[in-house]
Structure 1
Amino acid sequence: MSDVTVVIATRNRAAALRRTVGRLLELPERPQVIVVDNGSVGGPAICPPDVLVLPLGRNLGAVARNRGAAVADTPLVAFAGDDSWWAPGALDRAAGIFAEHPRLGLLAGHVLVGDDERTDPVSAFMATAPLGTADDLPGPPVLGFLACAAVVRREAFLGIGGFDPVVRSMGEEARVAYDLFTAGWGLAYRADVVAHHHPQAGADDTGKRVLAARNRVLTAWLRRPLRVAVGETTALLRAAPGDPVARRAAVQLAARLPRALANRRPAGRVLEAAIEHLEAGTTAPTSSPSAPRRSRSASR
């Protein structure tokens, strides 16, 4: 039996989900598959009997993945979207990589998009190793990932609380990456652990841009220094009068900011230095910064 459970969060995407589940059940690894239904209209998704379906009754966004990870009985959890799936052999390869690298908390896979299988720009960027290298990790260290193509060590993911309800979705990966790093876990990219992503045509791009703008500021308030959080907020508010995306993002930010402030835990100097490297588009000169030792709560 596989050491990896695949967790899928879905809502109102029955046709895409059927395709994804079918692909996953055909994998030679035969992973356990858990579908977490985020309150689909008309009731929870219908899946084959060997797929566990967790109906939530309401839309929790990315937090739904936490529910699946919590009930998984394997040491590793791979996330997939209802429009993405793992390539044959990818999950077995990931399990072997985790077994050889005990500090590894998250493995970011290589994403191929659409029928023409073009490399996702995020994967291409990770492959350039902008944070240098780390001797105890299996690939370039990263401080972000695509949730539809990530494998996590279950104890590490649950130890930092998983995805949070403040950000919910669209850019939700950043805070998870920051907290894993702070807890001492390594995050790395591997080009040979492949996932396929077939995003829905005609998706609401404007809505996604609103969420991305809002969540960038929320994440800054959750984990970045005060000067960064204030700067991100100021930039959004200045853009709002002439930019409808920024205006909508600012309105949503106001509603969620109190909860972000209540959960604020600014990251340390080492993490912030790495973030600034990435935002400046510079490459770390030698090796990536050493992560702090894992906290006891993160290693239980």
Structure 2
Amino acid sequence: MSVVVATRDRRADLARSLPRHEGPVILVDNGSTDGTPEFVRRSFPDVTVVTAGRNLGAPARNLGVELATTPYVAFADDDSWWAPGALRRAAEVLDAHPRLAVLAARMLVGPEERLDPICTAMATAPLGTAPTLPGPAILGFLACGAVVRREAFLAAGGFDEVVFFQGEEERLALDLAAAGWGLAYVEEIVAHHHPSPVRDGSHRQALSARNAVLTAVLRRPWPMVARAVLHAVRAGKHSRRGLRDTLPRLPRALANRRRLPKAVETARRSLDLPRPSPAPID
């Protein structure tokens, strides 16, 4: 198991999180201007530092996965880390379930260790639990609390430049499911996330709206694209700004558009609509 961390201008967060990682760590720096690469090389000589030279967004993690020599890769952000023993147990679960491509962990947020709401949603198992998976089937995950099977991740293309950052997990999850891989929430595996104070909520809201539309264009039927656009229009000024920001990226999204297999689209739609859960994807 390797740990891949993507970072940009978060030296103080890394000082807190890097000592907590178990196993080899590959850090990909997205063009930091605060001296992060030099600080990490000096303070954590066992960490492999890769300098992208510019902000690659989520695809920076792809560089780390490509460099990893282990069959499994755990992702972490500069403000997150894995609980002691979690990655060893995650490797055992992946060994025991060869169809599993993504293991989504239970994410505890902040010093008070609140359960992330996304984990609550995943635990309800709206897609069921296939006998070949170690937990509820999912079609999305939090990258900073996920472990991936390296070969499956790379075959699916990793994270892409169209979405860039924020909500980048969905397109990858859909493509993995379309290729026949399983994704599951495994509650016994725990990761910790102490969100950095260096955050811009309005910018993230705009990115979320933009990327929901772009992901729909990349993989969903046109009525679902229209639904994503309408949601952005109704969600407020920041989401409408995100909708405008889709335009420069739209040609690349259209060029890479590919429809999902019917079973995967049906499962994905069930997460949006109040309807009975489908049978697990198997």
Taking structure 2 as the reference length, the TM-score comes to: 0.95
Are 1:244 and 2:240 matched, yes or no?
A: no
Are 1:36 and 2:33 matched, yes or no?
A: no
Secondary structure, aligned partner of 1:65: helix
Secondary structure, aligned partner of 1:69: helix
Residue of 190, 214, 219 corresponding to 1:223: 219
Could you give the per-residue CA deviations for residues 3-45 of structure 1, whole angstroms, max 9, x where no partner exists?
A: x100000000001011110111xxxxx4110000000014442
Residue equivalent to 2:268: 275
Secondary structure, aligned partner of 1:280: coil
Counterpart residue identity of residue 242, structure 2: A
Question: Does the 8 Å contact 2:76/2:145 carry over to 1?
Answer: yes
Q: 1:283 to 1:191 in 2, by over 3 A?
A: farther
Could you give the per-residue CA deviations for residues 170-227 of structure 1, whole angstroms, max 9, x where no partner exists?
A: 1000001001101111000111100000002362111110000000000000000122
Number of residues paired by the alignment?
A: 278
Residue equivalent to 2:208: 212
**Aligned residues with identical type, % of pairs:** 54
Are 1:102 and 2:98 matched, yes or no?
A: yes
- CA shift for structure 1 position 115: 0.4
Q: Which moved more, 1:220-229 or 1:145-154?
A: 220-229
Residue equivalent to 1:259: 252
Secondary structure, aligned partner of 2:106: strand
Q: Aligned partners of 2:54 and 2:198: how far apart in 1? A: 24
Q: Aligned partners of 1:68 and 1:282: how far apart in 2? A: 39
Secondary structure, aligned partner of 2:6: strand
Secondary structure, aligned partner of 2:272: helix
Are 1:10 and 2:7 matched, yes or no?
A: yes
Secondary structure, aligned partner of 1:88: coil
- CA shift for structure 1 position 272: 0.9
Residue equivalent to 2:169: 173
What's the C-alpha RMSD, in Å, of the aligned pairs?
Answer: 1.5
Residue equivalent to 2:191: 195
Could you give the per-residue CA deviations for residues 261-296 of structure 1, whole angstroms, max 9, x where no partner exists?
A: 0111111211111011111255526x4133xxxxxx
Q: Aligned partners of 1:224 and 1:184: how far apart in 2? A: 18
Could you give the per-residue CA deviations for residues 25-81 of structure 1, whole angstroms, max 9, x where no partner exists?
A: xxxxx4110000000014442221110000011000000000000000000000000
Question: Does the 8 Å contact 1:131/1:283 carry over to 2?
Answer: no
Question: Does the 8 Å contact 1:8/1:65 carry over to 2?
Answer: yes
Q: How does 1:78-117 map to 2 (within 5 A)?
A: 78-117=74-113
Could you give the per-residue CA deviations for residues 81-119 of structure 1, whole angstroms, max 9, x where no partner exists?
A: 000000011101100001111100110000000000010
Q: Which moved more, 1:103-112 or 1:225-234?
A: 225-234
Residue equivalent to 1:21: 18
Secondary structure, aligned partner of 2:161: coil
Residue equivalent to 1:118: 114
Structure 1 unmatched ranges of 5 or more? 25-29, 291-300
Residue equivalent to 2:69: 73
Q: 1:201 to 1:71 in 2, by over 3 A?
A: same
Q: Which moved more, 1:39-48 or 1:184-193?
A: 39-48
Question: Does the 8 Å contact 2:29/2:49 carry over to 1?
Answer: yes
